[in-house]
Structure 1
Amino acid sequence: MTEDREEYFERLVDEQSLSSYLTAELGPAATFGVDRHDEGHSNETLFVTWGERDLVVRRPPPGETADTAHQVLREYRVMDALQETPVPVPPTVLACEDESIIGSEFYVMERVDGDVLRDDEPERFATPSLREQVGETLVDTLASIHAVDYDAVGLADFGRPEGYTARQVERWQRQLAWAFERTEAVRAIPELEEVGAWLAENAPTDHPRSLVHGDYKLDNVLYAPGTPPSVAAIFDWEMATLGDPRADLGWLLAYWRDDTEPAVRDAVHAPAFTAAEGYPSRRDLVERWEARTGFTFEHERFYRVLAVYKLAGLGEMFYRRHLEGNADDALYPEMETRVPALAERALAIRDGKDPL
């Protein structure tokens, strides 16, 4: 570990303090170790060995963050509520509001075995029929989220589904404004103001209501070992709320490549292998989601533009954290050019130049 990475790790966790906390809550353990998981790009993920148990600690990044971002205890609440539902989530263990333990609030969950499909597909899925099942299972699992009776699982007050879509536009306008406070000194992106204004004018006022994940995409699910493909767990619930399920579908599509891709799509850090033979097209995903949920993907151009606008907002917040030295992630410096490219992609979708 380099000196800079070691210093950043020490900002994430006081290992002695965490050990004392786990001892008090779970009992003593003969072995204890902490490693940082480098693949995440938002909240920080720490792998913890606690005796015979493999645990995961989730906490916000260090330093100043945008309002409403990185709410890890909200993430814990929704996963805890979904434990006895058909939605696959990791077993929850503990939630801690005491920021004196490791420097922020955090939660603990069990580690689940399986594969995240991020840079390549597992060899066991590398046939056209199994690839098709990967995509179908991904959509079916999303539909299971949208089918949850949120009142019955104790999430009736988890959000305000009415007006969700318009509030999403307003929220991400604020997130971008926060990021621009620092990043505009490097380069401005006026196209995002144009996109935000179009979204505000075109937000659907009448939309379905359901639990939404907020960040549902291929590399936020874990596929169980073996075949046929099945989802063992869904991760990264920090943006979950009650709202418009079409927004989740638009977000999934923003990260899904098929075999006819405009170059501007390279702005998204999305797997290229889903363009291989067998994987469903984006239109296939839409049709399966409609069949599984009973909803229709009306106003598809709005939802796809909204997804890319939110991606731009996340990227710009990452870039601010990079400029302020509050991140240790090789992806963050790339946002200097990736976010302007996302703005161009959003305009292309709006103008019908990037069809479904």
Structure 2
Amino acid sequence: MAPDHPPGLDLDRLHALLERERPGLVRGPLTGRLIEGGRSNLTYAVTDGTSRWVVRRPPLGHVLATAHDMRREHRVLSALHPTSVPVPRPVLLCEDEEVLGAPFYVMDFVPGTPYRTADQLAPLGPERTRGAVLSLVDTLVDLHAVDPREVGLDDFGRPEGFLDRQLRRWGKQLAASRSRELPGIDELHAALGRDLPRSPAPTVVHGDYRLDNVLLDDDDRITAVLDWEMSTLGDPLTDLGLLVMYSVPLHLPDSPVSTTASAPGHPEPGELVQRYAARSGRDVSQVAWYTAFAWFKLAVILEGIHYRYTLGQTVGRGFDRIGDLVPVFIEHGLTTLHEGLQEG
């Protein structure tokens, strides 16, 4: 299929829909391309030669209705766009599967660069890298400062019992993809369950907050926070724990898991936590638990990818090395949790 007619994107039907629902928006024939880098939902850049938009839809083929909920993503973007949190302006939600074969939404195209690896970040230099990562923390504070009720998201999730449900959910995910011995993972899961923190007041949680899910402009300012498919109402420190986890250098050459933590100038995890605490006013004394939970969650995700690889259900480079990473993440989780308990 030609590059301007990528799979899963019928540009003629999209054009007709936009003409009907947003008259005058589109000024000519549409072309589009798939934006690489997404791990689940498909993202396309679309243009009429003058303006640009982005289309988000679930993967091709059958998916669970709850796994890729376009309505939720569109709703959180619509709620946050008027706030200080930088998100693309939503243009249209379409739940009619006759148009593209699945529900989808359209949003404005926001210029900016995603930095997925330390090698990509390194050319910025230590000072700019440091500023970019610290702005990531500041934007997270801004997100967690949004009052869900004021933006119409007070029913966006079930914050009561959030951590317990998260732990059980990822435990079930582990059971579903367990095909080999994984020393320490049951110990880590059990230890997390014994020491559940008391959650602060719930906020909008991104769910996958890290540097490669934002766009940066040439002045290293965040122009957009992307990939809201895991967002909900819950414990804001889960976002912080994940950000801290991704700020720990793995020191694994040729790792198929991207991290920017080893880039020169990248702030240490402790500085990120202190900045978040100072700007948000939240108690971060239990951050070790949240970081250990992030290591556990990623270990489970990676084990699921490894399991699918052993069944021949994955295609692409690097999948053969995913399984070797799982014990590393388990060990980091156990060490983080034990050190945090000792400090506490």
TM-score class, shorter: 0.7 to 0.9
In angstroms, what is the RMSD of aligned CA positions?
3.3
Higher relative contact order (CA 8 A, sep 6+): 1
Q: Distance in 2 between matches of 1:189 and 1:283?
A: 29
Structure 2: segments with no counterpart, 5+ residues:
none
Change (3 A) 1:127 1:34: same
Check if 1:204 corresponds to 2:197.
yes
Deviates more, 1:309-318 or 1:245-254: 309-318
Q: Distance in 2 between matches of 1:147 and 1:309?
A: 27
Give the secondary structure class of the aligned counterpart of 1:100.
Answer: helix
- C-alpha contact 2:86 2:222 (8 A) present in aligned 1: yes
Q: Distance in 2 between matches of 1:341 and 1:334?
A: 12
Structure 2 counterpart of 1:21, from 17, 24, 28: 17
Structure 1 counterpart of 2:260, from 271, 274, 289: 271
Shift of 1:157: 0.4
Q: Distance in 1 between matches of 2:254 and 2:190?
A: 22
Match of 1:217 in 2: 210
Change (3 A) 1:193 1:50: farther
Q: Distance in 2 between matches of 1:252 and 1:262?
A: 17
Check if 1:75 corresponds to 2:77.
no
Match of 1:150 in 2: 148
Shift of 1:144: 0.2
Match of 1:47 in 2: 45
Q: Distance in 2 between matches of 1:66 and 1:200?
A: 28
Match of 2:125 in 1: 126
Identity %: 37
- TM-superposition CA deviations, 1:275-303 (whole Å, max 9, x none): x1x33211000000000100121222211
Give the secondary structure class of the aligned counterpart of 1:152.
Answer: coil
Match of 1:159 in 2: 157
- C-alpha contact 1:88 1:232 (8 A) present in aligned 2: yes
Give the secondary structure class of the aligned counterpart of 1:160.
Answer: coil
Shift of 1:57: 1.1
- TM-superposition CA deviations, 1:169-220 (whole Å, max 9, x none): 1122233344x1xx72xx4546433332222222223434221111110111
Q: Distance in 2 between matches of 1:73 and 1:188?
A: 39
- C-alpha contact 2:214 2:223 (8 A) present in aligned 1: yes
Give the secondary structure class of the aligned counterpart of 2:326.
Answer: helix
Question: What is the one-letter code of the residue matched to 1:271?
Answer: T
Shift of 1:43: 1.8
Change (3 A) 1:17 1:344: farther
TM-score, scaled relative to structure 1? 0.83
- C-alpha contact 2:141 2:280 (8 A) present in aligned 1: yes
Match of 1:195 in 2: 188
Deviates more, 1:338-347 or 1:151-160: 338-347
- C-alpha contact 1:211 1:243 (8 A) present in aligned 2: yes
Shift of 1:234: 0.3
Deviates more, 1:305-314 or 1:147-156: 305-314
Question: What is the one-letter code of the residue matched to 2:100?
Answer: I
- C-alpha contact 1:267 1:341 (8 A) present in aligned 2: no
Q: Distance in 2 between matches of 1:45 and 1:98?
A: 18
Structure 1: segments with no counterpart, 5+ residues:
none
Shift of 1:148: 0.3
Question: What is the one-letter code of the residue matched to 2:198?
Answer: T
Q: Distance in 2 between matches of 1:159 and 1:151?
A: 12
Match of 1:251 in 2: 242
Give the secondary structure class of the aligned counterpart of 1:107.
Answer: strand
Structure 1 counterpart of 2:325, from 338, 341, 349: 338
Q: Distance in 2 between matches of 1:265 and 1:289?
A: 31
Give the secondary structure class of the aligned counterpart of 1:121.
Answer: helix
Change (3 A) 1:67 1:166: farther
Aligned residues: 338
Shift of 1:224: 1.9
- C-alpha contact 1:48 1:55 (8 A) present in aligned 2: yes
